[in-house]
Structure 1
């Protein structure tokens, strides 16, 4: 069963629960330096009707290095179809963020490690597209990851090595153009910049990239 006791890691990570002030500074600097439209979408005031959600950021030890399980969503899904994200979803009635994150990890990937240990959480984030306030829960395991994917929610499981996350050459700035609608007709467009992580054929961007960037920054003493 999950535990809230800190765990010693063979990499320079300190318990996330002690990093509230540093998390805020890291997220603020990341938004201001590299993410267009961050205020009012990811980092601005959260609307009162936003739904609560949680994701599980798992540091999984494979005997040689730490890896982070990510999921590629089926293109058929309404929100974030085809994108890469952490396993997670909305809180059910009476659930804590930790309980929801672990449950969703199990539902999507078909496993809850016996030695799962909770380190803490990163900054909450309002994900504009799905109108969710997401709490990222950070955990560790040394158990071998043998996934049983839910095909409705997961098209592919991706193991991101810690070394790839911290490789600055994989992080790039991109731009995207989006249409502006009025009365269901396109009347204009706008362009925004965002920071993304390239891992093989996979481009990781948006809220997931912001969480990964924060994890990468607060993971070092």
Structure 2
């Protein structure tokens, strides 16, 4: 028989997470000073990667066992761009993103020392580029969207839960902002992070 002490022991000190999320990702949102002003630094993923080849992203990756999302973001920045942790000043964690694919993304805003050499890993990064923050603020994204429509199997036992087959399942909607930076459109989760960051600056 389950006891109260078992519940206390199991849940004492529990740090809440997000239910049904199978993976966590940490990403750095890098600011860097350039002659043209303050810029955001982006990567183009290598064409040889199995997922999202050739797409624009921020440095980051999957959080490993025993690692915090913040540590992950800094580690991945080093592995992908050769920028050491010592050259990054973290400013703040940004808003989390949850994804219908079953993962949560933890973005961290940071400033990269402009003297730090950027040495992209060819296995992961095809190209690196910067976009002036002033340009992004002056050219807001075009925002598209699509519906997430529940597709419930014919074998769902409606009568067992006290409802008819006309039950109104709740769907959702995903927004897709697109920044038209020449040759490198910024969109998807990267576009969403960029948009949310700059909304707070407007």
Q: How far apart are 1:72 and its partner, in Å?
A: 0.6
Question: Counterparts of 2:145 and 2:100 in 1: how far apart (Å)?
Answer: 18
Q: Where do 1:206-217 residues align within 5 Å?
A: 206-217=188-199
- Find the residue that maps to 2:135 and give its secondary structure: helix
Structure 2 match to 1:119: 91
2:105 to 110, 134, 154: 134
Contact 1:114-1:143 within 8 A present in 2 as well: no
- Residue 125 of structure 2 aligns to a residue whose secondary structure is coil
TM superposition shift of 1:172: 2.2
Residue 74 (1) aligns with residue 56 (2): no
TM-score by length of 1: 0.64
Q: Deviations over 1:142-173 (max 9, x none)?
A: 432421111111111111211122123x5224
Which residue of structure 2 lines up, in the alignment, with residue 57 of structure 1?
29
Q: Tell me the distance in 1 between the aligned counterparts of 2:115 and 2:100.
A: 34
Higher relative contact order (CA 8 A, sep 6+): 1
**Is the 8 Å Cα contact of residues 45 and 55 (structure 2) preserved in structure 1?**
yes
Asked whether the equivalents of residues 141 and 195 of structure 2 are also in contact (C-alpha less than 8 Å), the reply is no
1 CA distance for matches of 2:71 and 2:111?
Answer: 15
1:49 Cα offset (Å): 4.3
Cα distance in 1 for partners of 2:130, 2:100 equals: 26
Q: Secondary structure at the match of 1:199?
A: coil
| Aligned twin of 1:204 | 186
TM-score by length of 2: 0.70
Are the equivalent residues in 1 in contact too, given 2:87–2:116 (CA < 8 A)?
no
CA deviation digits over 1:109-135, x for unaligned, max 9? 011263522111111112445x43110
Q: Return the alpha-carbon distance in structure 1 between the equivalents of residues 126 and 132 of structure 2.
A: 20
Count of equivalent residues:
162
Matched residues in 1 for 2:71 and 2:122: separation? 22
For the residues of structure 2 that align with 1:118 and 1:197, how far apart are their CA atoms?
25
For residue 15 of structure 2, what is the aligned residue in structure 1?
Answer: none
Unpaired runs of 5+ in structure 2?
Answer: 1-17, 147-173
8 Å contact from structure 1 (residues 58, 139) kept in 2: yes
- The answer to whether the 8 Å contact 1:88/1:101 transfers is yes
Structure 2 counterpart of 1:161: 132
**SS in structure 1 opposite 2:180?**
strand
Q: Which moved more, 1:108-117 or 1:199-208?
A: 108-117
